[in-house]
Structure 1
Amino acid sequence: MPSTWTTTPVTAGLVHGALELEHTANGILPHRLPARARAQNTDGQLAMAESQPSGVRLVFRTRATAVELDTLPTKRIYVGAPPRPDGLYDLLVDGHPAGQAVATGGNTLTIDMSTGTVEHGTGPVATLRFTGLSGEDKTVEIWLPHNETTELVALRTDAPVEPAPASGRRTWLHHGSSISHGSDAASPTGTWPARAAALGGVDLVNLGFGGSALLDPFVARAIRDTPADLISVKIGINLVNADLMRLRAFAPAVHGFLDTVRDGHPTTPLLVVSPILCPLHEDTPGPTAYDFSHLAEGRLLFTATGDPEERAAGKLTLGVIRDELRRIVTRRAADDPNLHQLDGRDLYGEPDHAELPLPDRLHPDAATHRRIGERFAAHAFTAGGPFGDGTG
C-alpha cells in the first residue's frame, strides 16, 4: 500500500449527476433534488429516493494507482423480507469498467411494510479501496450505489487529484419512476438510463425516483432550473401505483408539468415516454399493494387492488395513461417541434415479457435494464432520433 496518501476534499467540481450537495456532520450528502424542492415535499418515500444517488459519480483526473473512498451508507432493512444486497460502487477508468466494491456497515433504515413504521440505526463509516490502477494520467469515475443513500466522507489517493475537464458531451436529464431510478439493476452503471447514456455519449443527470414520479410541481421546477441539452420524462406507473388522481386531473397535471419544464427549456429536445408493459396494471387500476404470500420462498411480489370496472369512473390504468399521453403530446407537438413521444412498450413489450418477465410483477431485472437502455439509445440518440445530432 502507498506510504503517503493525498486527501482531496469532496467538492462540487468532483461530483457529477447531483443537483445539490448537503454538508453533514460526516461529510457530503449528494441530493438529486434541490433544497427548495425538498422543503416542499412531505413524502418520506420521495425523501428517501432523492437521497439515493442514482447516476451520481465522482469524476477526476489523476495518475494515482490506488484510490480510497470513505463513505457512510444507509442500508434498508425490510421486516420479514430477505436481506437486501449491499450497494455496489462501479469504477470506470477512461470510460471502461475497472472494478467494483461494496461498503459494509453504515447506518440502517428498518422498515415494517405491514405497519408503515421506520426505525433509524447508526453504524460505522466504510472504506472502499481500488488498487492496481495504471500510473498514466487518466479519468477516474466512481459511480455511487443507485439504491443506497451515501454520504461521502473522504477521498484519498497516492497521487494528486484534479477535477476532470469539461467532457464536451451533451447533458441528458431524465425523470421517471423506480425503473428509471434503477430498481433491480445489477449496479449503478447497469441502470437503463446509465446504459443509454453510455451508448449515446452523453452525461447523465438521473431524476428517476422510486415510487415518486407523480407530476409534482416542485420536480418540474427542478428540471426547469437545471441546465440540460436533452430532457426526457417517463410518466405513468407511479400514478397507478399510488392511485393518486383520476383522468380529469391527469391531463391538466401533465400539461402543467410540461409547461413548467418549457419555461426553462423552451426549445430543448423533450421526449415524453409512456409506461413500459406491466400486465399487472395494463387494464387494472391501482393502488398497488405488496403480496406477502411468497415471503417464505424469499420473494416479495406486488398485486393490483383496483377493479377494471373503475376505469369508467376515471381511474387510471397504464392503457388509459398511454392513450392520454399520446393525445396530449400530439396536440402540443403541433406548436412545439422539439417535443417528441415514445411508447414505452417499444422499450419493453409483450414479446419481451414472454422472454424476460418482471420478477416481482413490477420491476425489470438486470438483463431487462440492459435491453431497455439499448433500445432507448437506438431510438433517441441515433441520427433522426429525437436526441440525435450526428455527433454520438
Structure 2
Amino acid sequence: MNTTTEHPWVTTPVTAGLLRGALDVERTAHGVLPHRLPARARAQCDDGQLAMAESQPSGVRLVFRTRATAVELDTLRTKRFYVGAPPRPDGIYDLLVDGRLTRQTSASGGNTLTIDMTEGTTETRTGPPGTVRFTDLPEGDKDVEIWLPHNETTELIALRTDAPVEQAPDRGLKVWLHHGSSISHGSDAASPTAIWPALAASLGGVELINLGLSGSALLDPFTARALRDTPADLISVKIGINLVNTDLMRLRAFTPAVHGFLDTVREGHPTAPLLVVSPILCPMHEDTPGPTAPDLGGIGSGQLRFRPMGDPAERASGKLTLRIVREQLTRIVEQRAADDPNLHHLDGRDLYGETDAAELPLPDQLHPDAATHRRIGERFAALAFGADGPFASRSL
C-alpha cells in the first residue's frame, strides 16, 4: 500500500471484540466476514437471497478508542449489478468520531455479483481488495466507529492507524435488537447510519443490532432462535411485506407462525419490551396479494419498479395482503398482551401512511427512498422511545 503518515502505521487484527452489530464472524482466506445470522441458522437454509442479505453488514460497525488521526481499512467488497440496469452506487463507509458523522468514503475493487432478473441467474467474478482511508481526524483520545456499507458484503482484511487502538469502553447503553425486511435492512437509504433503524437508534440513545434481512423476513424459525439467543434489552419485529411479496404462506399458516415466532423470542427474553410492527403502507399490496415481480420495462433507463402478480379475489382462498396482515397482527398482539404486559404493537402506517405516500411515493412501488428512511426513523424514535412509548426508560 502506498500510504504516508507522520508516524509508523499500527496494524490491529480485526476481531469480534472490535465489531458491533454482528452475530458471527467467519474467518476467510482474506480476513474476516461479519455475519448477521449465526452459523447454525445459515446451515438451515440454502436460499441465495438470504445468504446475500445476512452477509451484507447493515448496522455492523468497527468500534475502537484511539488517538489516531489517520485510519485505513483494507476490505474486499461484493458489489451487485443487474443486467440491463445502470450500475448501482458504491456502498458508503460512515466514520463517526465521538458519535458524530465526520467522514464518508467508498471502497474500490472487489468482487462483483451480476444478477439477471429476466433469466433468474447470477454470476460472481472475483476482484482485488480496496482500501478506505480517513485522514485529518481530531487530535486526542476519541471513540471511532466505522459503519460498513449496509448493501455490500464486506470482508475485513486489515485495520491500520497511526496510533494504537484499544477496545472502546462500554457506555452502558441499552441494546435494541430489531428484525425486519429490506426496508429495515436499508433498501435505498443514503448511507449505513441513515437507514431508518440506525437513525432511530441514534435518536433513542441505544446500541443497534439490526437483523433487517432483505427479502427474508419470513418468520423463519432459525431467525426466531437467533433473536432468542442474542442478548438485548429491547426487541422489535417488523412482519408482513416479505410474506406477501413472496406469497410464502396462506392465512391458515400465518397466525400460528406468528405465535410460534413470538413464543421462541420470549423463551430467551421473557420480560423485555417486545414491539410487533406491522407493514408500512405499500399501495400495490394493500388489497392485492403477491407474489411481487420486477417490472423490467424501464430497467434500461434505471427505473426498476415492481408490480403485484396476485388477484384480489384470491383473498377468499387465504392469500395474504398487507391489510389482512395488519388486522391479524393487531388481533394476535391483543390476545397475547393479556398475559404479556411487555408486548406491544405499532401500526406501520403510523411510520409511513397515505399522506406520506402522496408526498413521498415509493420510487419503485416497494422501497422507500433516503428522505423516507429519515422520516420513518424519526417517527419510530418518537413513537417507540418517546415518553409514552414501549421503549421509554420507564419500561426498562
TM-score range, shorter chain: over 0.9
CA RMSD of aligned residues (A): 1.0
The alpha carbon displacement at 1:116 in A equals 1.4
The alpha carbon displacement at 1:391 in A equals 10
Q: Per-residue CA shift, 1:256-282, capped at 9, x if unaligned?
A: 000000000000100000000000100
Contact 2:273-2:395 at 8 Å conserved across structures: no
Q: Per-residue CA shift, 1:153-200, capped at 9, x if unaligned?
A: 000000000010112000000000000000000000000000000000
Partner in structure 1 of residue 123 of structure 2: 119
The alpha carbon displacement at 1:294 in A equals 1.2
TM-score w.r.t. structure 1 length?
A: 0.99
Q: Does 1:244 align with 2:248?
A: yes
Query: Within 5 Å, which residues of 2 pair with 1:123-202?
Result: 123-202=127-206
Partner in structure 1 of residue 382 of structure 2: 378
Q: Does 1:42 align with 2:41?
A: no
Q: Which deviates more, 108-117 or 95-104?
A: 108-117
Partner in structure 1 of residue 91 of structure 2: 87
Q: Does 1:312 align with 2:296?
A: no
Match of 1:235 among 209, 234, 239: 239
Contact 1:69-1:155 at 8 Å conserved across structures: yes
Aligned equivalents of 1:248, 1:292: Cα separation in 2 = 33
TM-score w.r.t. structure 2 length?
A: 0.98
Partner in structure 2 of residue 71 of structure 1: 75
Residue identity (%): 76
Partner in structure 1 of residue 262 of structure 2: 258
Q: Number of matched residues? A: 392
Query: Within 5 Å, which residues of 2 pair with 1:262-341?
Result: 262-341=266-345
Aligned equivalents of 2:174, 2:302: Cα separation in 1 = 42
Letter in 1 for 2:354: E
Aligned equivalents of 2:103, 2:21: Cα separation in 1 = 20
* Structure 1 unmatched ranges of 5 or more: none
Letter in 1 for 2:338: A
* Structure 2 unmatched ranges of 5 or more: none
Contact 1:7-1:157 at 8 Å conserved across structures: yes
Aligned equivalents of 1:60, 1:273: Cα separation in 2 = 33
**The residue matched to 1:299 in structure 2 has which SS?**
coil
Q: Per-residue CA shift, 1:65-123, capped at 9, x if unaligned?
A: 00000000001111111211110000000000100010011011111111111111010
Letter in 2 for 1:90: D
The alpha carbon displacement at 1:129 in A equals 0.6
Aligned equivalents of 1:193, 1:297: Cα separation in 2 = 30
Contact 1:382-1:390 at 8 Å conserved across structures: no
**The residue matched to 1:13 in structure 2 has which SS?**
helix
Shift in alpha-carbon separation, 1:272–1:7, aligned structure 2, 3 A:
same
Aligned equivalents of 1:180, 1:363: Cα separation in 2 = 10
